[in-house]
C-alpha cells in the first residue's frame, strides 16, 4: 500500500504554519514534511505534531538565510566559505529532528558561488555530506541528497539522479541516499519508471508534482496512475511526499488522491 505525506510548505498554505498539521490530519494524511522549521520554536512545533498525531517524515538542512531563499538561493553545502555555517546548521537540524521525531533530513547542494570551480564546489559538498551523514547517523537520522532542475534553480550544482548518485558514491556513507523528486527528474531527465525500478535501493524518499507548473497529479504530462502502479509492484514502502503547488485550493487539489488511492487516506 502506497503512503502519502503532505508537504505543508505548499499544501494548506492558506493557514498559519502551525495550523497546517491539523489540516493535514483532517484531510486524511498520516504524515507531513516541509522545507524548514527553524523560524518556529521547537516546543511549539512538537506540540502541533503531538496533537495532530502525525509523523514528521522530512525537512531540509538550513540552506542559507530566508532572504537568500526568497531570492532563489537553494543551499550552502557546496560553498567553501560557508563550511562552518553548514556544520552549525547540521547540528541545529538534528536538534529539531530529534524534538519532532523526524527520521530524515535533506541536503540541498546549492549553486557554486562566483569564482568557485565545479570541482571545488563538489569537493566541498562531498566533505560536508560526509560530516552531515555521520552526525545524523549518530541520532538515527538518515540523510538525503536531492537534485533540483536547473530551469527553476539556475546553476544548481546537482541536477540529475546520476550526478547525485555519483556524489553519494564519493561520500561513501551508508547513511546517505537519493531523494527522488519526480517533478525535478521529469524536467531534467525523464525516464522516471526505469530510474525507480533500477535505483530503488538507493532512493530514501520520493516526492511528486506534475509538469509543467509543479501542480498536483493530473494537471500535466506525467502518467501518475502508471507510476504509482509501478511503485506498488516494486514494493516501495517509503512515504511519497505531495510537494506540489495546488492549482486551486489545497482541499480541491487532493481530489486526485481521494479518487485513485482512497485507502491510503484512511488514517
As a whole number of angstroms, the distance between CA 205 and CA 97 comes to 16
Question: Which of 202, 224, 244, 221 shows the shortest CA–CA distance to 2?
Answer: 224
pLDDT band at 139 (very low <50, low <70, confident <90, very high): very high
Peptide bond into 218 cis (omega under 30): no
Q: Is 243 a catalytic residue?
A: yes
Q: What is the CATH number of the domain that holds 256?
A: 3.20.20.150
Residue 121: its pLDDT value, please?
Answer: 98
- Cα–Cα distance for residue pair 246/219, rounded to 1 Å: 10
Domain around 167 = 3-265
State percent of the chain over pLDDT 90: 95
The rounded distance, in Å, linking the Cα atoms of 113 and 122 is 12
Q: How sure is the predictor about 241, in pLDDT bands with cuts at 50, 70 and 90?
A: very high
Burial class (CB in 10 A: 0-12, 13-18, 19+), 84: exposed
68 is catalytic: no
Q: What's the confidence (pLDDT) of residue 265?
A: 54
- 39-49 mean pLDDT: 97
Q: Which of the residues 146, 174, 216, 221 is marked catalytic?
A: 146
Does residue 261 register a pLDDT over 80? no
Stretch 63-92: mean pLDDT, rounded? 96
Mean pLDDT score, 46-63: 97
Catalytic residue of the set 33, 122, 142, 243: 243
pLDDT tens digits along 156-190: 999 999 999 999 999 999 999 999 999 999 999 99
Domain count, the chain: 1
Amino acid 157: pLDDT: 98
Q: How far from each other are the two terminal CA atoms of the chain, in whole angstroms?
A: 13
What per-residue confidence (pLDDT) applies to 259?
61
Considering the chain, what is the average pLDDT of its residues?
95
Amino acid at each position: 500500500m502506497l503512503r502519502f505525506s503532505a508537504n505543508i510548505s505548499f499544501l494548506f498554505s492558506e493557514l498559519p504554519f502551525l495550523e497546517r498539521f491539523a489540516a493535514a490530519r483532517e484531510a486524511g494524511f498520516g504524515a507531513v514534511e516541509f522545507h524548514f522549521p527553524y523560524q518556529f520554536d521547537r516546543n511549539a512545533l512538537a506540540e502541533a505534531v503531538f496533537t495532530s498525531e502525525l509523523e514528521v517524515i522530512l525537512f531540509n538542512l538550513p540552506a542559507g538565510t530566508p532572504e537568500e531563499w526568497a531570492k532563489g538561493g537553494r543551499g550552502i553545502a557546496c560553498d567553501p566559505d560557508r563550511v562552518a555555517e553548514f556544520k552549525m546548521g547540521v547540528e541545529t537540524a538534528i536538534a529539531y529532528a530529534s524534538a519532532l521525531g523526524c527520521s530524515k533530513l535533506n541536503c540541498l547542494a546549492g549553486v557554486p558561488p562566483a569564482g568557485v570551480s565545479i570541482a571545488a564546489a563538489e569537493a566541498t559538498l562531498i566533505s560536508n555530506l560526509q560530516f552531515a551523514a555521520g552526525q545524523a547517523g549518530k541520532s538515527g537520522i538518515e540523510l538525503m541528497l536531492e537534485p533540483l532542475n536547473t530551469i527553476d534553480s539556475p546553476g544548481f550544482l546537482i541536477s540529475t539522479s546520476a550526478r547525485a548518485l555519483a556524489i553519494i558514491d564519493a561520500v561513501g556513507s551508508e547513511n546517505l541516499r537519493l531523494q527522488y523528486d519526480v517533478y525535478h527528474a521529469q524536467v531534467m531527465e525523464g525516464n522516471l519508471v526505469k530510474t525507480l525500478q533500477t535505483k530503488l535501493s538507493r532512493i530514501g524518499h520520493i516526492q511528486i508534482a506534475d509538469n509543467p507548473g509543479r501542480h498536483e497529479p493530473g494537471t500535466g504530462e506525467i502518467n501518475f496512475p502508471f507510476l504509482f502502479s509501478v511503485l506498488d509492484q516494486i514494493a516501495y514502502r517509503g512515504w511519497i511526499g505531495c510537494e506540489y503547488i495546488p492549482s486551486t485550493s489545497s482541499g480541491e487539489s487532493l481530489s486526485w488522491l481521494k479518487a485513485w488511492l482512497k485507502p491510503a487516506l484512511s488514517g
